[in-house]
Structure 1
Amino acid sequence: MDINTIIEGAHSVSLRNLQPADATAMSELANNPAIARNLRNVFPYPYSREDAVFYIGKAREGAWGICQAIHYQDTFAGVISLLPQEDVYRHTAEIGYWLGEPFWHKGIMTEAIRLVCRHAFSQTGIIRIYAGVFSYNRYSAAALIKNGFVLEGIKRKAVLKYNELFDEHFYALLKS
């Protein structure tokens, strides 16, 4: 379910397949505790070049579903993915993403979410995309809401991050 061609959007944002050449930039941007704080613990911190090489290799094998590099003005800025679910949820995908701190607050992630959702709805059988957002990550929630995602529910004290419990907010977008 890879996007085989570059998808370009507004604000000089584009998505393309992750490439081995992205490993250095990816590791430099991802090695940031502010990014790791907003992601599941499977995302390592510190984040090494070897972590990036491993992730890119698995992405290129299709292990993460649709997994794309986010580019801003032709510069690697982060990663966005859609992980298709299975069984009775096979029409659904979970969206996940991160953006390097130098690219925050520029509308880049909002545009990347729009691009990957548009692709999924037009090119795959996916009709529902959802995201779990830690309660303190208001910028992630805002990017989803700007794309039409709706808060469907809150799992209270569901996330244990850095030995502290947080709520997880679930947002979803349906194919219109």
Structure 2
Amino acid sequence: MKYYVFLRGVTPTGKNRIPKMVILKSIMEDAGFKKVMTYIQSGNIIFDSDLPKPEVAKEVHMRILENIGADLKVIVKSRKELAVALNENPFDDTYDYSRVHLVFFNERLSELNFDLLNNVSLLGEKLEIGSECIYMYLPKDAAKKRLNNNFLERKLKIDATTRKFNVITKLIRLERE
């Protein structure tokens, strides 16, 4: 199965730094994953594996921790899940797609208590719930952004990572080339 792995918590310096994506690719290949590709330094990996998603997440986390020392959260999605997320995007062409973000997590949406997000003042930001992810529209003119990974992780008690709509589109195109 084709998996898209998103690392949460990659930093440009310090203990959660990925030195080079070529090193990360090599680590994943050594772990037995096939057709490994990486995209941009923030931690996007594509590969094939016969393992189920929870085992993929555990293996990727362990290999990165052992080989690089970075203790990163690992979110794993299938090609189908990403395709559904892109197709369900609630923001039409009147929105600036460079400001549309998709929030991914390993839990099923049906398991999350979205009532915890009620009565949150979004100050012009928009949040929509899809079947595969949470969508955020973060306008440039938002004085103080409320919507971000830390906020959603605290409120929903999950590990999450955010990618721009355009990055997800690019990952799917990259994998198909």
TM norm. shorter chain > 0.5: no
TM-score by length of 2: 0.26
Higher strand fraction: Structure 1 or Structure 2?
1
Which of the pair has the greater relative contact order for Cα pairs under 8 Å at 6+ separation? Answer: 2
